[in-house]
C-alpha cells in the first residue's frame, strides 16, 4: 500500500457523539407557524399510516391478488395436469404466474402506500470522505473527480482515490484534475486485486464520521451528496447507511443501453423504494451510497466477495440497524453496451445475492420487516428459473401452435406489472426529476424492448451467476 496525501482530514467525533447530535435535531416546522392565523381553523393533514400498517396492507393485498389469480388459473392448472400430472401443472403455474404475481403485487401495494419522509436537515455540514475505487479508469476518472468538485455540500469533503493496481494513467489523470480544480485529493494504492481490498485499504485512512463510495465511472448530480447525507441525518438514530439513486448516463449508445435506462429508472428504482419504505434497502450499492464509518469498521469492512456492497449491507443490518434509500440523491453511471459485458455484470449481481444470503441468511436479521424483505431474495432464483426455463420455451411452443404455457391465463400477471411501472414513472417524474431540474428523454423503442426482451437477458445471466456460485468458479471484478 502507498499513500499520496495532500492534506490530512480532520479528526471526527465519535459514533456516540454523532448519534446524540442526530437525535437532538428538531423536526423542520411545516405548514402554518404556531400562533398564526385563526385558532378555530385546522389544517387538513393526510392520513398517517405507520410503516408496520403499510406492510400489513401490502401483505393483505398480495394475498388477495394471489388468491384471485389462483382461482382464475384453475382451468390452466387442469389443462397442464392432463399433460404432466398435478405436480407439473401446479409447478408451472406457480413459477410462471403465482410467484411473480405475489412479488409484483406486494411491490405495487407498497409503492402506492409509500410517502417519502421530508428531509429534516436541509444543509448538512458533517465531514465526509468520498472513496472512488478504480482500476484502469484513465478515460473517465477525470470527469468523476470533477463531478465531486461540483457537488454542493456545505461541510468538509475529503476525496480519496483507491487505486487497485492500475496499469494505466488513472492516478496521474486524477491528480492532474484535482490540482487543476483545487481539490485536496488523497491517492491510496492497493496492489492486491479486488475492489474490497482497495476499499478497505482506503478505509484505514478515513477519519470522518461518514464515508461515501462512488464508482470510477459515476457522475454525481450537484445536489446528490447533500441529499444523500441529509437522508442519513434525517433518519432514525439506528440508520447506518443510505443508498442513492443510480441512473444511466450513456443511454444513447445502443438498444441495450436504452433498455438498461428503463431498468434503472423503473425496475431498480421500484425495488429500492419498496425496500426503503420498510427501512431495509438490501443493497447500499458501491456506485453511490453513504455509510457510518465506525459501523463499516465494526463489521470488518467490505468482505472479499463479488458482491461486496450486498454483503456489507446485509451485515450492517444484521444487528437491527436500518438502511434507507434516497430517490433524489441522483448519480449517473455508464452501463455495459456489449451483450457479453452486460451478461457478465448481471451474473456477478446474481452471484453477489447468493453470497449475501450465505453470509447473513434472512432469518438472522433482527428486525421483522428486514427479515421479510430479505426473505424475498430466496424466491428470486425461482423467478429466473420460471422465466428462462418455462416462460421462454412456452413462447416458442405458442408460436408453433401449442398454447400450453403462454395462453390467456398468463395475462393475469401483466396488469400488475404495468401498474408498478406506471406508479414508478409518475413518482420519478414528479418527485425526483422535477425538483432536480431533470427531464426524461424520449426512449419509446427502448421501453418496448425493455418490456418484451430485457427480462430474458437478465434471467439467463442470473442463472449463469447462480451456477458460478454453486460451482465455486473464479470471481472477477469486471
The 10s digit of each residue's pLDDT in 405-448 is 776 556 555 676 777 787 788 888 887 877 778 777 778 888 88
Of 178-182, 267-271, 283-287, 334-338, the least confident: 267-271
The CATH homologous superfamily to which domain 128-361 belongs is Spore Coat Polysaccharide Biosynthesis Protein SpsA; Chain A (3.90.550.10)
Percent of the chain with pLDDT over 70: 87
- Indicate left, alpha or beta for 420 from its phi (over 0: left) and psi (-120 to 50: alpha): alpha
**Residue 27: what pLDDT?**
39
Rounded average pLDDT over 247-265 = 92
Residues with Cβ within 8 Å of residue 78, at least 6 apart in sequence: 89
Range of 85-89, 191-195, 200-204 with top mean pLDDT: 200-204
Range of 4-13, 22-31, 119-128 with top mean pLDDT: 119-128
| Whole-number Cα distances in Å, 313 to 280, 296, 316, 318 | 9, 9, 5, 9
**Residue 122: what pLDDT?**
84
Residue 36: pLDDT over 50: no
Residue 40: pLDDT over 80: no
Encode pLDDT of 337-361 as tens digits. Answer: 999 999 999 999 999 999 999 999 9
**Residue 31: what pLDDT?**
34
Q: Which of 117, 137, 333 is nearest to 224 (CA)?
A: 333
Residue 9: pLDDT over 60: no
Distance of CA 90 to the CA centre of its chain: 33
Q: Which residues pair with 220 in a beta bridge?
A: 331
Rounded average pLDDT over 317-335 = 94
| Whole-number Cα distances in Å, 139 to 132, 167, 190 | 14, 13, 20
Reduced to 3 states (helix: H, G, I; strand: E, B; else coil), residue 148 is helix
Percent of the chain with pLDDT over 90: 63
Encode pLDDT of 157-169 as tens digits. Answer: 999 999 999 999 9
For the chain, the helix, strand and coil percentages under 3-state DSSP, each to the nearest 5: 55, 15, 30
Rounded to an integer, what distance in angstroms lies between the CA atom of residue 337 and that of residue 223?
Answer: 28
Encode pLDDT of 42-91 as tens digits. Answer: 556 667 889 999 999 999 999 998 998 898 888 888 888 988 899 999 99
Query: Average pLDDT of the chain?
Result: 86
Rounded average pLDDT over 290-310 = 94
**Residue 424: what pLDDT?**
81
Burial (CB < 10 A; 0-12, 13-18, 19+), residue 120, is middle
Cα angle for residues 293, 211, 158 (degrees, 5° grid): 125
CB 107 within 8 A of CB 420: yes
Rounded average pLDDT over 125-146 = 95
* pTM across the whole model: 0.86
Provide the residue ranges of all domains of the chain, joining segments of one domain with +. Answer: 51-115+377-439, 128-361
Residue 21: pLDDT over 70: no
- Higher pLDDT residue, 108 or 291? 291
Rounded to a whole number, what is the distance in angstroms from the first to the last CA of the chain?
22
Rounded average pLDDT over 452-469 = 94
Amino acid at each position: 500500500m502507498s499513500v499520496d496525501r495532500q492534506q490530512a482530514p480532520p479528526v471526527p467525533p465519535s459514533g456516540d457523539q454523532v448519534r446524540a447530535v442526530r437525535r437532538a435535531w428538531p423536526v423542520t416546522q411545516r405548514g402554518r407557524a404556531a400562533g398564526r392565523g385563526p385558532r378555530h381553523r385546522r389544517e387538513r393533514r393526510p392520513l398517517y399510516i405507520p410503516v408496520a400498517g403499510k406492510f400489513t396492507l401490502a401483505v393483505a393485498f398480495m394475498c388477495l391478488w394471489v388468491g384471485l389469480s389462483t382461482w382464475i388459473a384453475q382451468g390452466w392448472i387442469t389443462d397442464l395436469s392432463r399433460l404432466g400430472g398435478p405436480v407439473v401443472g401446479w409447478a408451472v403455474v406457480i413459477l410462471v404466474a403465482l410467484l411473480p404475481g405475489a412479488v409484483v403485487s406486494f411491490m405495487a401495494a407498497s409503492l402506492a402506500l409509500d410517502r417519502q419522509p421530508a428531509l429534516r436537515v436541509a444543509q448538512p455540514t458533517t465531514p465526509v470522505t468520498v472513496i472512488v475505487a478504480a482500476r484502469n479508469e484513465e478515460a473517465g476518472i477525470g470527469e468523476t473527480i470533477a463531478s465531486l468538485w461540483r457537488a454542493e455540500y456545505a461541510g468538509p469533503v475529503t476525496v480519496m482515490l483507491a487505486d487497485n493496481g492500475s496499469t494505466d494513467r488513472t492516478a496521474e489523470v486524477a491528480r492532474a484534475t484535482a490540482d487543476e480544480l483545487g481539490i485536496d485529493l488523497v491517492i491510496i494504492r492497493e496492489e492486491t486485486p479486488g475492489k474490497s481490498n482497495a476499499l478497505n485499504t482506503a478505509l484505514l485512512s478515513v477519519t470522518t464520521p461518514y464515508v461515501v463510495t462512488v464508482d470510477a465511472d459515476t457522475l454525481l448530480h450537484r445536489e446528490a451528496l447533500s441529499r444523500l447525507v441529509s437522508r442519513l441525518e434525517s433518519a432514525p438514530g439506528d440508520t447506518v447507511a443510505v443508498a442513492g439513486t443510480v441512473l444511466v448516463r450513456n443511454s444513447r449508445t445502443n438498444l441495450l443501453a436504452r433498455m438498461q435506462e428503463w431498468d434503472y429508472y423503473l425496475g431498480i428504482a421500484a425495488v429500492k423504494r419498496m425496500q426503503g419504505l420498510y427501512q431495509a434497502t438490501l443493497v447500499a450499492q458501491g456506485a453511490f451510497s453513504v455509510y457510518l464509518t465506525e459501523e463499516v469498521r465494526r463489521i470488518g469492512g467490505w468482505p472479499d466477495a463479488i458482491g461486496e456492497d450486498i454483503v456489507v449491507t446485509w451485515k450492517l443490518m444484521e444487528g437491527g440497524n436500518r438502511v434507507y434509500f434516497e430517490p433524489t440523491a441522483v448519480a449517473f453511471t455508464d452501463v455495459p453496451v456489449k451483450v457479453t459485458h452486460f451478461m457478465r455484470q448481471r451474473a456477478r449481481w446474481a452471484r453477489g445475492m447468493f453470497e449475501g444470503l450465505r453470509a447473513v441468511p434472512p432469518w438472522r436479521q433482527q428486525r421483522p420487516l428486514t427479515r421479510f424483505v430479505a426473505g424475498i431474495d430466496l424466491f428470486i432464483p425461482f423467478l429466473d428459473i420460471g422465466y428462462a426455463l418455462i416462460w421462454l420455451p412456452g413462447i416458442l411452443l405458442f408460436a408453433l401452435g401449442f398454447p400450453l404455457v403462454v395462453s390467456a391465463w398468463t395475462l393475469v400477471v401483466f396488469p400488475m406489472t404495468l401498474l408498478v411501472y406506471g406508479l414508478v414513472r409518475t413518482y420519478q417524474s414528479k418527485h425526483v426529476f422535477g425538483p432536480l431540474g431533470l427531464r426524461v428523454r424520449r426512449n419509446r423503442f427502448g421501453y418496448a424492448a425493455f418490456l418484451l426482451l430485457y427480462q430474458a437477458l437478465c434471467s439467463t445471466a442470473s442463472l449463469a451467476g447462480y451456477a458460478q456460485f454453486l460451482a465455486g468458479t473464479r470471481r472477477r471484478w469486471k
